[in-house]
Amino acid sequence: MVELLEAPSSAVQHDSAKFLLGVAGVKPASDAQVSVNIDLKAGFVIDLSGRSPSERPMKVVSPQPGAVAVGDKS
């Protein structure tokens, strides 16, 4: 195969190079790998409802149990 790297045909050169690189472990992945990260956490929530803060109750959404909103009296 090494001798075929210098063959007159470029197709033969290509095939022998591809084979030799494959034997050495240099080859593309056989399957396409797709990685999707869906563990997203919002840092801020923007309320576009148009209501004033006094018209809607404050809600706390937190992964920590017992989290208290800033300014909450309880």
Query: What 3 state SS string does 3-71 have?
Result: HHHHCCCHHHHHHHHHHHHHHCCCCCCCCCCCCCCCCCCCCCCCCCCCCCHHHCCCCCCCCCCCCCCCC
**Whole-prediction pTM:** 0.39
pLDDT of residue 5: 92
The string of pLDDT tens digits covering residues 26-70 is: 877 776 677 777 776 667 777 777 777 677 776 777 777 766 655
pLDDT of residue 25: 86
Task: Give the list of residues 6+ apart from residue 70 with CB closer than 8 angstroms, or none.
Answer: none
Task: Give the list of residues 6+ apart from residue 49 with CB closer than 8 angstroms, or none.
Answer: 56
